[in-house]
Amino acid sequence: MISFLLMFVFSGGEEGGGSPLDVNPGLIIWTVVTFIILLLILKRFAWKPILNSLSERENFIKESLEKADKTQKDTEKLIADNKANISKAEEEAQKVIEQSRELAEKLKSQILEESRLQAKKMITDAAAEIERKNAEAFNRLKNQVADIAVDAAEKILRENLDKDKQVKLVNKYLDDLKN
Amino acid sequence: MWIFNPNTVSDTANAVVETSKKQDTGWIMHHVLDARELDLSPFGVIHLPQIHLFGMDISLTKHVIFMWLAFLILVVTFIYMAKSYRKSLVPHGVTNLSEILIVFVRDEIAKPTIGKGFETFLPYLLTVFFFILTCNFLGLIPYGSTATSNISVTATLAVISFFVIQIGGMMKNGAFGYFKGLIPHGIPTWLLPIMLVVELLGLFTKPFALAIRLFANMTAGHIVILALLGLIIILHTYVIVPISIPFALFIYLLEIFFSLLQAYIFTMLSSLFIGMAVHQEH
């Protein structure tokens, strides 16, 4: 059947004037001219800019990826650094708080101690003062008593002789004293 | 089921040949072959001007016109594409599609087969790929014609490939070094004359194979489609329609695939031969 079809094709071709294997010199020349001009035009105006753009874009993408990769690594490092810093700062803060608490504790006990001492001192001072005041009052009393005694003696001396009078006087004086 | 009977099939083929002798079947060849006019029936026929230069007939033909159409399409598309890259490196629309093919030719064809220094041959490979691809596709549209189904066109392209291969090899290895490198190392001296002939023949068979492969593939599909459709007319019956149309459609789809495949194969083999000529040590 295939051979029949082939016969049919080629016999048909011969009748139609020319077979598919005919070579046409004009067509060859036109093919060469067309193809060479096409090659030159496309090479100059299309392939060069297109291929350049393609490689440019490929480089751009490659660089961008590399940059992104680098940025990511940097960021990770930064985050790790930050974390380390934060933990360090926290530690430090903890330490500072601890220290200040200790200091406050110390200060408190010191102040307490101081105030206790001061209070003690004040108490002692007050006691001494009271002592002193007591002594002073006692002295004054002693003086007064002496004065009164002298006064009484004087009065007694002035109102001499009369025993009754004397008794009365003494009583009166004693009453005076009571008041 | 008469169509599965081999006798009936050969009878049918006989009938085809018989009727074809009686009727004018030149229309199949008329479609496949080159012509001096553009047949746009029923809208009319455009007669192309005839040009004679230095005693040679270089008249414009149907295939020349379709090559020029391919030329125009490629120039417009790729210059537009180059311009669109100037605006932004992000591809859009047509640029996106062409870019896939360009990157394919660069990374899947040129780079692995030629290796180092493939950039020199990239413009040629890209041009030949897109030119063949566009010519192939132009044959698939109505009123279109496949310039690559003409042996003159494919042979010329193959000869250009041949020159690119040889010049590429000579540029890399020097003219003498290149021809010396053609002969494999370590063969007995008395074999040299034979090897020389074999290797020189090998140089010419490569482009010859390229030319015939492209021509035959692009011609065969059209002939098969036309033959399938022609059965309806030749047998004067509608019974054959449900068979011819799906089969013709199937062949048509196959042709879309072959258009891409043949452009790829032509470029791939050219690239491979360039690689072999440039890096002879392999």
Q: What was the ipTM of the complex prediction?
A: 0.80
Set of chain A residues whose Cβ sits within 8 Å of the Cβ of B60: 30
Low-confidence ranges of chain B (pLDDT < 50): 1-4
Between these two residues, A178 and A146, which has the higher pLDDT value?
Answer: A146
Q: What is the pLDDT of residues A136-164, one digit of tens each?
A: 998 988 888 888 888 888 887 776 666 77
Stretch 225-244 of chain B: residues touching chain A, C-beta under 8 Å: 227
pLDDT of res. A15? 38
Q: Is residue B261 part of a domain?
A: yes
Exposed/middle/buried for residue A174 (C-beta within 10 Å: 0-12, 13-18, 19+): exposed
pLDDT of res. B148? 84
A86 falls in which pLDDT band (50, 70, 90)? very high
The string of DSSP codes covering A42-85 is HIIIIIHHHHHHHHHHHHHHHHHHHHHHHHHHHHHHHHHHHHHH
| Nearest-CA distance B191 → chain A (Å) | 36
Could you give the number of structural domains in chain B? 1
Q: Is residue B105 part of a domain?
A: yes
Q: Number of A:B CB contacts under 8 A?
A: 172
Q: What is the pLDDT of residues A91-114, one digit of tens each?
A: 999 999 999 999 999 999 999 999
pLDDT of res. A115? 92
pLDDT of res. A54? 84
Interface test with B, best of A1, A32, A38 (most B CBs within 10 A): A38
Backbone CA torsion sign across B218, B219, B225, B228: negative
A46·B149 Cβ contact <8 A: no
Q: What is the pLDDT of residues B191-215, one digit of tens each?
A: 778 888 888 888 888 889 888 888 8
Between these two residues, A18 and B100, which has the higher pLDDT value?
Answer: B100
Between these two residues, A6 and B216, which has the higher pLDDT value?
Answer: B216
pLDDT of res. B2? 43
B82·A49 Cβ contact <8 A: yes
CB contact at 8 A, B121 and B164: yes
Q: What is the pLDDT of residues A42-63, one digit of tens each?
A: 888 888 888 888 888 889 899 9
Q: Which amino acid is at A33?
A: V
B71·A20 Cβ contact <8 A: no
Set of chain B residues whose Cβ sits within 8 Å of the Cβ of A34: 64, 67-68, 71
Q: Is residue B255 part of a domain?
A: yes
Interface test with A, best of B150, B226, B228, B234 (most A CBs within 10 A): B150
pLDDT of res. A8? 46
| Nearest-CA distance B218 → chain A (Å) | 11
